[in-house]
Structure 1
Amino acid sequence: MAVDNGGARVVAARAPIDRIGVAVLRELVETIVSGTIPQGGGFPPEAVLAQEFGVSRTVIRESMKRLQEKGMVTVAQGRGTHVNPMSSWNLLDPLVLAALIGHDDDLGILDDLSVVRGALESVMAGAVATSADEQVVARLRASLDAMRAVIDDSAAFREADVKFHQTVMELSDNLLAENVARVLFERALESTRYHGVDPERAFELTMQEHERVVDAIAAGDRQAARQAMEEHILGSWERRRFPTQKRS
């Protein structure tokens, strides 16, 4: 928090949270996301939680502050700590998003993530198309070449695939969209559910779709670049998505 100190701005240091505290915080986030303590429900008193986790009340108190910062709980003096509606949570927080994906049995969160990611990356691809010069196009084609060179190595291909998307994001010069899209992408990549099951010729299809994105950017066609990127992200997810019951 910034405070005024005789005209000088001083940033007050926030209390550190050690490894034990991080582990407690992660478990508390899981408790909320899993519904063990439902939205609107209350947590046990600090003393009870401290005994349950085998930590001090200070660790519990600090963890609750972190949950409050994430929008997950409200701490009210004399009334205890209650879980907020999911609409109040910071869904881009790494711990919260990772827990949501981990409990995403119907893949609804990953469906939503793919839609948002597709929208953001399509805007960024369109932005690149409006200002792309020979150097930008050459960089993107080099990224395609890097993917093509390792198409028979699944791990290397996936890494090159991620780098292609990161390159488009970087070239867009839209720092806010890039930051949000990276958070979504990185948390999703940690989940085996997001990787799903690759269909036949998955990498060849990915190459073709990436080539359409680059061709549109090279042509300076903003709308085509946006469409190609969004169709690629949504289509790729749909192809590899585990066959679960989709939300209506």
Structure 2
Amino acid sequence: MSIPDDLAEQLLNAIIDGTYPPGSTLPPEAELAEASAVSRLTVREAVKHLRAQNVVRVVRGRGTYVNPPDRWTALAPVVKAASRGTGGGLSEALIEARRLIENGAAELAAHRRTEDDLAELREHLATMRAAAETGDTEQFVQADIDFHDVVLRASGNLFVPLLFEPFGALLAQGRRETSAVPRIRANAIDHHEAVLDALATGDPELARRAMNAHMNQTADDLRTHVLKPAQP
């Protein structure tokens, strides 16, 4: 990573952490250069990088303003901001994005999956069951991720798995939070089994409905067991 890229990353982290909230201005170029022990040219290049992602905008004669995340145009900073977020809004937004991609992937996979794909899915489902019985959250999460990865690849479209690549760490983080709850693990197993059964039939509409039901279950479990835990 170059020095300007490193400084751009530091500034992005400061924006995400709230040091420079949306609508605020970054410190003047000279001040940033002195604070970071770099040249003003380096600061200029770092800000240029953030401008290219629409993280900040320059208003001539007034300064460099921080844009809200919903105006950012690059996926990497948005994912980083989401991974630092708290509350349910970002988690539910991620489920919505998953629904858009995974429902279609399941539909394609029903047409294109192979017997080897089905065998892999059965193996990952078996691992999920074993991990649920022993309370091994990490193993459960990995098997869950692996199951969905097979579905994405079984779609037969090279672009589909790539769409999920930037979400990797964020998905794993969210699944660790939800999969620690036994009721959620049980629900997930039931729905993964339904997705597998639907894919085995080769019926695209059935596969889409099964995956959509799984997304509904994921959203409901998040709201019921994680965001608003039941009172004793």
Bucket of the pairwise TM-score, normalised by the shorter protein: 0.7 to 0.9
Higher helix share: 2
Aligned residues: 225
Q: How does 1:1-248 map to 2 (within 5 A)?
A: 17-18=2-3, 21-22=5-6, 24-75=7-58, 80-90=63-73, 92-93=75-76, 95-102=77-84, 104-151=85-132, 152=134, 153-190=136-173, 195-196=177-178, 198-241=180-223, 242-243=226-227
Residues 196/145 of structure 1: CA separation in 2 closer, same or farther (3 Å cut): closer
RMSD of aligned alpha carbons:
2.9
Once the two structures are TM-superposed, the CA of residue 78 in structure 1 deviates from its matched residue by 5.4
Percent identity over the alignment is: 32
Contact residue 88 and residue 227 of structure 2 kept, 8 A: no
TM superposition outliers: structure 1 runs of 4+ over 6 Å: none
Gaps of 5+ in 1: 1-15
Q: Secondary structure at the match of 2:227?
A: coil
Contact residue 124 and residue 146 of structure 2 kept, 8 A: yes
Contact residue 122 and residue 196 of structure 2 kept, 8 A: yes
Aligned equivalents of 1:188, 1:30: Cα separation in 2: 20
Amino acid at match of 1:130: H
Q: TM-score, normalised by structure 1?
A: 0.76
Contact residue 117 and residue 184 of structure 1 kept, 8 A: no
**Comparing 140-149 with 44-53, which one deviates more in the overlay?**
140-149
Instruction: Provide, for residues 96-144 of structure 1, a one-character-per-residue CA deviation record: whole Å limited to 9, x for no partner.
Output: 3222331x33321221111111221111011100223433322322332
Q: TM-score, normalised by structure 2?
A: 0.81
Residues 201/84 of structure 1: CA separation in 2 closer, same or farther (3 Å cut): closer
Q: Secondary structure at the match of 2:167?
A: helix
